Amino acid sequence: MTVNEYNKCVDTYADGVYRFILKNIKNEDTASDIVQDAFAKMWEKVSGISYKKSKSYLFTAAYHTMIDRIRKDKRWDTGEDVEVYNSGQETGYSDLKEILDEALERLPEIQRSVLLLRDYEGYSYNEIGEITGLSEAQVKVYIYRARMTMKKYLVSMENLIDY
């Protein structure tokens, strides 16, 4: 890949990689750091990466960096920021996006990641497998389970909403 192709790759894919990581991490600073790390990793190997594979490489690098960051944070987590769920608390959702974000947040990280890659970023099952290191069959299973979990959550939310 040439320097011009790398710069074009930054312009073309930076927003998509950032949105994907932000949806998973929910922290703008951390998401920016992860995206920057992914581009740095790509720059280190720029001569060995073809422009055609740059998008896949970026999402793969960002995904693995995100997983490493999550694992590191869990290992060092002191438990001070534990969120307590209050069943009597009214959430007061104002729109569908908030409800969907809440449903997404309840998914295990791998299910959330593959679902976002498929439905939000438009990757094929095979491409998601390459990014996450899963087989195509595993990707399909995780996406199916994520969709069923979200459906179950959204249907139960429907029962709670007064019309």
Q: Each residue's pLDDT tens digit in the chain (163 positions)?
A: 888 888 898 888 888 889 888 888 888 888 899 899 888 888 888 888 888 888 888 888 888 888 888 777 776 654 444 443 343 344 444 567 777 788 888 888 889 889 888 888 888 898 889 888 889 999 999 999 998 988 888 777 665 555 4
Give the pLDDT score at 144. Answer: 92
Would the pTM of this model clear 0.75, i.e. be above it? no
Architecture of domain 92-163 in this structure: Orthogonal Bundle (1.10)
- pLDDT on residue 139: 92
Residues 112, 11: contact at Cβ < 8 Å?
A: no
3-class state of residue 13 by DSSP:
helix
Determine the topology of domain 1-78 in CATH.
Answer: Rna Polymerase Sigma Factor; Chain: A (1.10.1740)
CATH 1.10.10.10 residue spans of the chain: 92-163
pLDDT, position 158: 60
Give whole-number Cα distances, 67 to 16, 49, 71, 132, 161, in Å. Answer: 18, 22, 6, 10, 35
Q: According to CATH, where is 1.10.1740 located in the chain?
A: 1-78
Cα–Cα–Cα angle for 61, 67, 70, nearest 5°?
A: 140
- The residue among 145, 116, 67, 151 whose CA lies nearest residue 137 is 145
